[in-house]
Amino acid sequence: MARRIRIPWLIDVVSVSTPDAIRAVAPHPTLDRGLRPAGPLFNRFVTGRLRFTLSTGRRPLPTILRRDDTDRAAAQAALTDRLTPAEPERLLDEETVAALSGFVRGEGGEVGPLTQQLVGRLFDADYQATGETWAAAKRLQRAAESNNPLTHLLRVIIGSIYRAQRTLSDAAKGDPSAVHSTGIAVHNLVDAMEGLAKLYREADDRASVSTAEAIARTLVGPRTIVRQADGHADSLVGPLRPGTLVTFAIREAGQRSLDPRITFMRGGWSECPAHRVVPAMIAAVWSQAVWQ
């Protein structure tokens, strides 16, 4: 259910990877984002690296902001409202859906920039993904995932993280939610598109694969999301101390359960505003690939 690594002064990290434990622990009032410098050395490195990386270069991305941040909550509510109409497929850029369905059929096309463009056009109909914006998204994601302090230091010194943030932010007109979506969240959707291409190649009778089944077989969540303890408290996964990091292995847990409360943290304070439109994207690309 949970694995803890604790060496006083050095590290205090709890990894949670089962759906039940994530559902039970996520609402704990002592666990939040914000990622202050607190706790042992490794914890301080991780929070510092994430605070530096998950930013537009000027403003923090929403996924490192605290639950009581009222601007974050208002932006999340407004975006959820906008991305959850009765027919979410109408929000999708037709030209990009068509190009992605060509990719799924094996007719070529670059899945990374195309998926980034599909996401970017939810925010701005003129969003243009390029080799440069896609390279920036990969660089930002790698920097967010790497726990090697030397590599991080090098990236900071040569300015590669900052340049990636500026490229993504310029394309997204400075909107932190759009930078998060086109720079970080997009990678989950690329994995889903690659999953659709594999399903298309391997299904014996692809016309019999419903859109619901295609979604269930390809939708994946982020590998991990991070919470930090604000103070001392007991929890289902053991005692929390100020600065304890708790990571949720969303992708692993989501593959054991179709529950959107895991993949999109649905129903919680941090739920993904795209929880309706993402399945609509997968459904639109799959049905065009198979039927048109």
Binding site for ligand HEM (CB under 6 A): 62-63, 72, 76, 79, 119, 122, 177, 180-181, 185, 188-189, 192, 219, 221-222, 225, 250, 263-265, 270, 272-274, 278
Instruction: Output 152 or 187, the one with its CB closest to ligand HEM.
Output: 187
> Which conformational region is residue 252 in: left (phi greater than 0), alpha (psi within -120 to 50 degrees), or beta?
alpha
Q: How far is the CB of 279 from ligand HEM (least distance, A)?
A: 9
Which DSSP symbol is given to 59?
S
Q: How far is the CB of 24 from ligand HEM (least distance, A)?
A: 15
- Residue pair 25/233 in contact (Cβ under 8 Å)? The answer is no
Edge-to-edge strand ranges of the sheet holding 2-7? 2-7, 11-16, 245-248, 225-229, 31-32
Q: Enumerate residues 6+ apart whose C-beta is below 8 A from 19.
A: 253, 254, 256, 257, 259, 262
Instruction: Output 82 or 158, the one with its CB closest to ligand HEM.
Output: 82
Q: How far is the CB of 32 from ligand HEM (least distance, A)?
A: 10
What single-letter amino acid sits at 172?
A
Closest CA to 122 of 87, 93, 165, 81: 93
Closest CA to 62 of 289, 198, 216, 265: 265
Instruction: Output 161 or 219, the one with its CB closest to ligand HEM.
Output: 219
Cα–Cα dist 185/133, whole Å: 14
Instruction: Output 39 or 195, the one with its CB closest to ligand HEM.
Output: 195
Instruction: Output 38 or 219, the one with its CB closest to ligand HEM.
Output: 219
Q: How far is the CB of 262 from ligand HEM (least distance, A)?
A: 8
Instruction: Output 84 or 146, the one with its CB closest to ligand HEM.
Output: 84
Q: How far is the CB of 10 from ligand HEM (least distance, A)?
A: 25
- Residue pair 171/52 in contact (Cβ under 8 Å)? The answer is no
Instruction: Output 107 or 110, the one with its CB closest to ligand HEM.
Output: 110
Cα–Cα dist 191/197, whole Å: 10
Q: How far is the CB of 263 from ligand HEM (least distance, A)?
A: 5
Q: How far is the CB of 63 from ligand HEM (least distance, A)?
A: 5
Dihedral (Cα; 233, 239, 240, 245), 10-degree rounding: -160
